[in-house]
Amino acid sequence: MNDLAPSLLCITEAEARQHQAAYAYTLDEGPLSDWPKFFTDPCLYRITTRVNEERKMPLSIMLCDNQAMLYDRVEAVEKANVFEPHFYRHILSDSRVLSSQDDSLVLETSFICVRSMLDGRMDLFTAGKYVDHMVKHDGRCLFKSKTVVLDHSRIDTLIAIPL
């Protein structure tokens, strides 16, 4: 084993944060077609609510378990954006590690997302946390699973939007 080997296998918290940050900027700044590239294939991407999680209810607002489904979401959002232009801004707080192994890391990250409409309105769009299982493939961090747990249950306009 050479000196470079560990960094290809082990995930550090700093790398995990960097992956998370790049993910958030891709959602906010685009191109959204890069979004699926943050995940393994197959993967598990899920949006749910805190009440559902606490009651162990399996219901999800969005669920994708492979990259093709993620690309379908991208296409849906890009079509929806034609009709109602607006911007999103994710703000992440510090992460907390839930479990850690050499080649994988499970952590949670509180976030809020602010939405700005072109006409000047701005509102607090959502708040919650990510629960992420990150792995390393060929030296790159990837989400093996990402669960978006929303604090609230106001979900009507969320359906098409990756978070």
Quick check: 116 binds its own copies (CB under 8 A)? Answer: yes
DSSP run (H or E) holding 93 = strand 86-101
Nearer to its own copies, 18 or 42 (CB): 18
Per-residue x/- mask for its own copies, residues 34 to 63, rule CB under 8 A?
----------------xx------------
Judged by CB under 8 A, how many residues of this single chain contact its own copies?
41
Nearer to its own copies, 109 or 145 (CB): 109
Pairing outcome for strands 122-137 and 62-64:
unpaired
Q: Kindly tell me the burial class for residue 148, based on how many C-beta atoms sit within 10 Å of its own C-beta (0-12, 13-18, 19 or more).
A: buried
| Residue of 7, 8, 12, 25 interacting with its own copies (CB under 8 A) | 25
Pairing outcome for strands 86-101 and 62-64:
unpaired
Quick check: 118 binds its own copies (CB under 8 A)? Answer: yes
| Residue of 79, 137, 140, 154 interacting with its own copies (CB under 8 A) | 154
| Residue of 9, 68, 80, 122 interacting with its own copies (CB under 8 A) | 122
Distance from CA of residue 93 to its chain's centroid? 14
What Å distances lie between residue 67 and 7, 12, 47, 108, CA to CA? 26, 25, 16, 22
| 125 in Cβ contact with 111 (< 8 Å) | no
User: What's the CA gap between 126 and 17, in Å, rounded?
Assistant: 21
The region of 35-43, 65-73, 103-111, 139-147 touching its own copies under the rule CB under 8 A is 103-111
Q: Interface with its own copies by CB under 8 A: which residues?
A: 17-18, 20-22, 24-25, 28-29, 50-51, 87, 89-96, 108, 110-112, 114, 116-118, 120-124, 126-129, 151-154
